[in-house]
Chain A
């Protein structure tokens, strides 16, 4: 079964960092890009960046440049997204998504809730 399984909810204090994981199964992990997207409560979707799992190239949204880092561990079929210098505005559901066939966003994880609160 093709799926992306994301790590559990996180609660962080302002100024801290958070590192989320996204474990892939059911397809060739190294073949495609993997994207990270977030959605604050009641707000729009926001694209954070992508990693090409095969060659480790990355590209990030200008809005998060310098604060976001996407990595992968091919041996574990897992991608990671680390966001630093957290503020309350980073409270959101974070999704990973990837291509398995036609589009870059064929399948999505169920999302990880990140709450930033003092």
Chain B
């Protein structure tokens, strides 16, 4: 089974910009992997922020955006807010199956 890798932890200053990445052991992540990004607050179920690389839900704050960057999926947060401190997981599609990354703990400090 493929392994999906994320930065274990990142720190961003309030109002700052940070990019989280999501790589695949099978090679470059492409739009055909339909990458997802989830946010999980402590004790809560995850919620989808980004799907199919860059599509947003109605509840996704405008400061979050998704893209492909250097062979990886990327989640960029521009103008970080204290409430953005959370765990972020990417999910990659492999011929029907899905694999989660290890998650990134984002600290806003």
- Give the interface of A toward B (CB within 8 A): 35, 37, 44-47, 50, 59-63, 95, 102-106, 108-111
Q: Given A47-B91, A62-B1, A102-B57, are A108 and B45 also a contact pair (CB < 8 Å)?
A: yes
A60: chain B residues at CB < 8 Å are: 97
User: Secondary structure of the B side of the interface?
Assistant: strand
Q: Are A62 and B97 in contact (CB under 8 A)?
A: yes
Find the residue from B48, B91, B101 having the highest chain A CB count within 10 A.
Answer: B48
Q: Are A103 and B57 in contact (CB under 8 A)?
A: yes
CB distance from A78 to the nearest CB of B (A): 18
A111 to B44, CA, bound (A): 9
Query: Which residues of B (24-83) have their CB < 8 Å from a CB of A?
Result: 36, 38, 40, 45-48, 51-52, 55, 57
CB distance from B92 to the nearest CB of A (A): 10
For chain B, the count of residues having a C-beta within 8 Å of the partner chain is: 22
Q: Are A103 and B97 in contact (CB under 8 A)?
A: no
Q: Are B45 and A103 in contact (CB under 8 A)?
A: no
CB distance from A97 to the nearest CB of B (A): 8
User: Secondary structure of the A side of the interface?
Assistant: mixed
Q: Are B1 and A63 in contact (CB under 8 A)?
A: yes
List 16 contacting pairs A-B, 8 Å CB cutoff, sorted by A: A44-B89, A45-B40, A45-B46, A45-B103, A47-B97, A47-B98, A47-B100, A60-B97, A61-B97, A62-B97, A95-B45, A103-B36, A103-B48, A104-B36, A105-B48, A108-B46
